[in-house]
């Protein structure tokens, strides 16, 4: 029993040590080239993310102004508009994350991403999720496994934010004068924007990994995705 426990601890320590690679050095060894279609896709996603954020922010600000002007019905109506923007954006993100998970299995390696961190987030549940993902990230070695862990964390994060946004909107509807639901919704929007930043980084890493040259090991990535050859 003691030998089994020691072996288990030893394997965990080895995985943790292997997982703590020098990401900066790994990135130096890789030279990524985005061709025109991939760059357009990244730019289009960035524009979509910025637009969704601007729409949600504008609606939330308008709702706050209505609340401060003691126009509670108008405030709740516009807050629900902000929630609908988040829900539509969340559905879009979840669909893309599922597709990215499929495409990630079609490449031999993926550009390294940093470990997930709870630091950018405000919500307690999302902080715990990101912290757990960051710990597990360090125990994994392959870039594909780490990349898919990021996707799982982002899917969970989107769900957490949307559920929190719905609860906050319902609480604000019951008691518009209470500050806490409005602050919770604002924190959720902030967290959604942080998830979007990670979403864009993961999308760009996957796109870049479709055409990359490892200067050290001459690693070649497939140039075929979904039946399209470049």
Confidence (pLDDT) at 72: 94
Q: Where residue 1 falls among pLDDT bands split at 50, 70, 90?
A: low
pLDDT tier at 28, thresholds 50, 70, 90: very low
What does the block give as tokens for 225? 């995705």
Number of helices (H), then strands (E), belonging to the chain: the values are 7, 4
pLDDT at 143: 86
Higher-pLDDT residue of 143 and 189 is 189
Residue-wise pLDDT tens digits, 157-172: 999 999 999 999 999 9
Span 149-162, average pLDDT: 97
Which of 76-90, 97-111, 209-223 is the least confident region?
A: 209-223
Closest CA to 197 of 119, 87, 105, 109: 119
Q: Up-side HSE of residue 32: CA atoms within 13 Å toward CB?
A: 17
Report the distance separating Cα 72 and Cα 54, nearest Å.
23
Domains of the chain by residue range: 32-223
211 confidence band (pLDDT: 50, 70, 90): low
C-alpha 27/C-alpha 212 separation (Å) is 11
Position 26 pLDDT exceeds 90: no
Judged by DSSP in three states, 225 sits in strand
pLDDT band at 121 (very low <50, low <70, confident <90, very high): very high
Distance of alpha carbon 129 from alpha carbon 34, whole angstroms: 32
State the pLDDT at residue 225: 32
Read off the pLDDT of each residue in 168-190 and give the average, rounded to a whole number. 96
**Cα–Cα dist 59/169, whole Å:** 13
Other C-beta atoms within 10 Å of 41: how many? 14
- Residue 31's pLDDT is 45
Torsion, CA 7, CA 8, CA 13, CA 14, rounded to 10: 70
Q: Which helix (H) or strand (E) holds 213?
A: strand 212-214
- Please tell me the predicted confidence (pLDDT) of residue 104: 85
192 Cβ contact partners less than 8 Å away, ≥ 6 residues apart: 53, 56, 86, 89, 90, 158, 161
Question: What integer pLDDT is reported at residue 218 of this predicted model?
Answer: 34
Average pLDDT of every residue of the chain: 81
Report pLDDT digits (tens) over 43-62: 899 999 999 999 999 999 99
- Rounded average pLDDT over 98-103: 89
């Amino acid at each position: 029993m003691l030998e089994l426990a020691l072996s288990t601890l030893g394997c965990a320590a080895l995985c943790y040590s292997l997982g703590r690679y020098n990401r900066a050095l790994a990135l130096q060894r890789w030279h990524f080239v985005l061709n025109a279609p991939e760059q357009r896709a990244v730019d289009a996603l960035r524009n979509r993310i910025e637009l969704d954020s601007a729409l949600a922010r504008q609606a939330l600000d308008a709702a706050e102004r209505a609340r401060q002007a003691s126009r509670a019905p108008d405030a709740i109506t516009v807050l629900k508009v902000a929630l609908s923007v988040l829900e539509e954006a969340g559905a879009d993100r979840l669909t893309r994350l599922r597709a990215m998970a499929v495409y990630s299995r079609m490449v031999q390696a993926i550009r390294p991403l940093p470990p997930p961190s709870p630091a950018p987030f405000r919500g307690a549940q999302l902080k715990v999720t990101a912290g757990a993902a960051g710990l597990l990230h360090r125990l994994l070695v392959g870039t594909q496994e780490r990349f898919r862990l990021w996707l799982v964390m982002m899917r969970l994060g989107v769900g957490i934010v949307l559920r929190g946004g719905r609860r906050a909107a319902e609480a604000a509807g019951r008691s518009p004068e209470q500050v806490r639901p409005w602050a919770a919704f604002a924190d959720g929007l902030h967290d959604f924007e942080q998830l979007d930043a990670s979403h864009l980084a993961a999308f760009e890493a996957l796109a870049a990994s479709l055409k990359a040259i490892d200067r050290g090991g001459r690693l070649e990535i497939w140039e075929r995705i979904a039946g399209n050859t470049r």
